Structure 1
Amino acid sequence: MTHVSSSNFNHVGDVQTKKATTQTNARRRSSIKILMLPTAAVDEGWSWVVCIACFFINFVLIGVWSSFGVLYVGLLEHYVDSNETDICSSENRSQSSNAISGQTAWIGSQATLFTFLLGPLSVSLATRWGVRPVVITGCCLFSIGLFLTAATNQIWQAILTYGVMGGLGGSMMYSPTVGSLPAYFRKRKSLAVCLARSGSWFGNLAFVSCMTVIRDEFGWRMQCVFLGCIGSLTIFMGALYRPRPVQPASARPSVKEIVVQSCNSQRHRRFAVWVWIHSLHFFQLYLVLFHLVRHARCMLGVDSTASSLLLVYLSAAAACCSISNGILQDKVKNKILILQFVIFVGGVANLSFRFLTTYRHLIVYSILIGIGDSFLSAMCVIPQELVGSKEAVNAFGILSFSGGLVSCFGGPAGGWAFDATGSYDVVFTIAGGFSVVSCLLMFCVSCSTKTKSEMVAEASKNEPKSSPAAEVVGSVETSV
């Protein structure tokens, strides 16, 4: 019999272990290599991975900003305790020094302002350096800003950490991801964008519930720590943004050229008119999200949990409508009509705000506002419909800029109105009027919008019939 020593067994085991380790390392290197290489996938494969990454970034970023209404109540309780007043007391309005509602609302408004206002700059950086490094940097700033907010004691400190720092990071996360997503799709462009944007409402749905429990059990500071931990996870989502095929170095535009190109998209007549008309509806967005919970508590006497549930109903309706918008926009010719409908529903709901006297009325109102707030997904494909594929990303940056500029005043306006009158009726009615006017004026843009065939014909005239460029322009434009 042949004697096999134990050392031979050990040698064979070591060889097998080294082989398995080598294979594992090779798989890891292969995975990293896949993430680093560009992808030309369209409507399949990695395109949907990017869509999922964009969904999660919206889930966290816009979900956090949209659920500020829950944090707002906790911050108010903290700041008014130092003045020995109550968040529903008329003492808050007796002296301008105690008009804390509007000042506190600026914390969330600054965050949304910087997120959208810096859209053109963030898009410019992403176009120059790539989406991935810009988004990852933004994720770090966003999460650090939330962590630092937990250590603040005064309103101006929270504005700097939550508003400015968090908003700067949010801008670098939002505009590059949403603006570049359509480049990965053609046939299912609207569905992909609306699915990704619906993540914001699913995020609001989740964060409102979690933050209500955390606030009641641990306080608002732990809310900020919790949000910072969740925000740090978006770093991994940013890494999934594999770039498109890279242009030659000589063909890459400079940052100055990109900014000029972004501003030039504003010169497109139909887009310029539409973007400012559409921005009127942004005024009501954070007005409702910031103050609905407080209105239910102070004006109707609803408890903390039930009042926070109103944002859950709103988010659920907005998420469902966002997905529906994507399906419909892939099938209809004039995509602006769907946008007009949801804006009109939200406007009518706000016009009826002063007549809401019971909690059931507020539930119905929240659902209607959720339908109106689904405009955030319905609007994302309109820039490409109006200015074409080439300028769509830059046009989206301009759209973010104008929307953020208007929406940042909604939250403080609600706080100032409550401080001055003890009611939100006037400011909500004004917001509803803005939305209805926006919807009606949008018919001018809708009627002047060229059909797909007209855009293809116009693009074909600018290229020789035999030129491959004409075929590319035609295939892209017909997929809008």
Structure 2
Amino acid sequence: MATKQQQQQSSESCDRDGEDGDKGGAETPLTQAQPLANSAPDGGWGWVVLVASIVVLALTLAFPSCMSIFYTDLQKQFNASNSVTSWVPSIMTAVLHAGGPLCSVLVERFGCRATVIMGGVLSGLGMAASAFTNSIVELYITAGVITGLGFCFSFQPAVTILGHYFVRRRVFANAMSSTGTALGLSTLPTLSNYLHTEFGWRGSFLVLGGVLLNCCVCGAVMRPLGPRKPRAHKQMSNGSAVTSKEGTNCLASCFHRHMAFDQFCNNQRYRVFSLGVTWMMLGFVVPLIFLIPYATDNGMDQSKAALLLNVLGFVNIIVRPAFGLLFNLAWFKGRHIYVLSIALLLNGLSNNICCIAPTFPVLLIYMLCYGLTMSVVGTLLFTVLMDIVDMNRFLSALGLLAIMESVTLLIGPPLAGSLVDRTGEYTYVFLASSITVVSSALFLLVSFYWLDRRDTAKKESSPAPAPIHSPDCQYIKVSAGGTDKHTAIQTERVTSV
């Protein structure tokens, strides 16, 4: 009887899920992870999706650092200071993260595939429009807001869909997808430098806008797991369509649900992790923005300075897959956060190498050290988040974390630029970045160690259930036949426990 009721409940639940999927459009929303987790292939078409995710991350996460190729030209074109010019990559990176909740709503409504394609169109049009700007404020809007929002719509669904296609090999899949950032760092600076030499910054922005449209191709292969649902056309009792007011309320409800404030308030590990990562982002990406201006300001050729970012990318490409296989071992389960914290600590300390001398050999050593530690951070960042929250809340947790990061990502580069304007030295930027990243690493390391010790102490102090020692213990066996008018009770003696 119980089995029959469970089957009926399961059938009703599936029917409700199907109806919800119809509300979302042509694709089943990937935020409803429970029916998808059971069908995760851990391979097959998932490898195609993984390759597409790598390309998307190469075109989105690595792109803001390439703006340093055009940093000096933008300064001269608009007669702007370091702090004013640095707002361009800062706004781009901040919007990339701040659009997380809106991206989460779009993924639930339209699915990952449509959202990634939409992001590709936005980023391509925004970057192409940047070629025709006549002021730095217009560049803030086109290259900063529009392109950054397109990056957000492409990047976050590409990461989320991997969590549904891979469960057993999730760490390896995340590590491989993170090589997309490395792939972008190893190719985009060279491409940008070549375009800058041939066409100038305006022509380069126009061509790069076309390159970003490849995100649409990558999004097209990200088909949803499970059967496709036909679009449901719901009508009201009078036969008219759903009003725009009801659609607005639905959108507001979805937005509120995907902010994950409940996780931040109730999940202490997520709260600590999000605060530590948010503080880390204040100085984590700043060295990549100011590395080429620092090198060229001290007499290094720009093509040679751009080679440093290529070295960073190649180090990540070589190292990240190996780290993905290593951290997928059973010994690292539950220890990912500690490896991440130690890598952040070493990453922050490596920024001090830049202060030794602005020569190519010194900066090359810096890129090697920075690249190794950055590889570990990129490999484990999303894996740790997936360990902390359930997969059905991952997208909302990522959205809230991203919007928190956007604040520090927005103010970090302008603060660093202001520091350069006041002191006239780039070395202070790398020192400030070192202090910020090191302090965030220590915060994460100490906090999670304390949380683990507290949880262990609670388990040890909780009373264990008393074992049954008496051989005279009895249990009641109840049997009810379909034709019986009463319940028969039979007592048996337990001979062993």
Deviations 1:237-275 (A, max 9, x none): 11111113379989xx95424633522222211111111
Q: SS of 1:381's equivalent?
A: helix
> In the alignment, residue 256 of structure 2 is paired with which amino acid?
V
Are the counterparts in 2 of residues 350 and 432 from structure 1 also a CA contact under 8 Å? yes
Structure 1 CA distance, aligned partners of 2:41 and 2:256? 27
Q: Which runs of 5+ in 1 are unaligned?
A: 1-34, 81-98, 458-480
- In the other structure, the counterpart of 1:425 is 427
In 2, distance between residues paired with 1:373 and 1:116?
A: 19
Report the equivalent of 2:308: 310
User: Per residue, is there more helix in 1 or in 2?
Assistant: 1
Counterpart in the other structure of 1:167: 148
Determine the structure 2 residue equivalent to 1:356. Answer: 357
Q: Which runs of 4+ in 1 moved over 6 A?
A: 35-39, 246-250
The Cα shift of 1:405 comes to 2.1
Q: 1:384 to 1:175 in 2, by over 3 A?
A: same
Matches within 5 A, 1:11-410: 40-80=39-79, 100-245=81-226, 255=251, 256-257=253-254, 259-261=256-258, 262-267=260-265, 268-299=267-298, 301-331=299-329, 332-333=332-333, 334-374=335-375, 375-410=377-412
C-alpha offsets along residues 39-90 of structure 1, whole Å, 9 cap, x if unaligned?
844201111111111111111112322211112233223234xxxxxxxxxx
Alpha-carbon displacement from aligned partner over 1:284-309 (angstroms, at most 9, x marks no partner):
2331121100101113x111111111
Equivalence for 1:463: none
Amino acid at match of 2:276: I
Distance in 2 between residues matched to 1:288 and 1:63, nearest whole Å? 13
The 3 A distance-change label for structure 1 pair 449 and 387 is farther
Tell me which structure has the larger Cα radius of gyration: 2
Deviations 1:355-395 (A, max 9, x none): 23432111111222223333233201111211233322221
CA distance in structure 1 between the aligned counterparts of 2:167 and 2:103, rounded to whole angstroms: 24
Distance in 2 (alpha carbons) for counterparts of 1:335 and 1:114: 28
Distance 1:287 1:116, change over 3 A: same
Matched letter for residue 440 of structure 1: L
TM-score by length of 1: 0.77
- Mapped partners of 1:371, 1:121: distance in 2: 33
Give the AA of the match of 1:178. V
Cα distance in 1, alignment partners of residues 222 and 352 from structure 2: 42
In the alignment, the residues of structure 1 paired with residue 47 and residue 374 of structure 2 have an alpha-carbon distance, to the nearest angstrom, of 25
Q: Paired residue for 1:477?
A: none
Number of aligned pairs? 399
Q: Which amino acid aligns with 2:206?
A: V
**AA in 1 matched with 2:195:** I
C-alpha contact (below 8 Å) 2:105/2:254 kept by paired residues: no
Rounded Cα–Cα distance in structure 2 between residues aligned with 1:264 and 1:180: 23
Distance 1:247 1:271 in 2: 33
Supply the RMSD in Å over aligned alpha carbons.
Answer: 2.7
| Contact 1:139-1:169 at 8 Å conserved across structures | yes
Q: What is the letter of the counterpart of residue 380 of structure 2?
A: A
2 CA distance for matches of 1:260 and 1:446?
27
Q: How far is the alpha carbon of 1:232 from its aligned partner?
A: 1.0
**CA distance in structure 2 between the partners assigned to 1:152 and 1:101 by the alignment:** 19
Cα distance in structure 2, aligned partners of 1:209 and 1:357: 21
Shift of 1:445: 3.9
Q: Distance in 2 between matches of 1:263 and 1:128?
A: 20
Q: CA deviation at 1:164?
A: 0.6
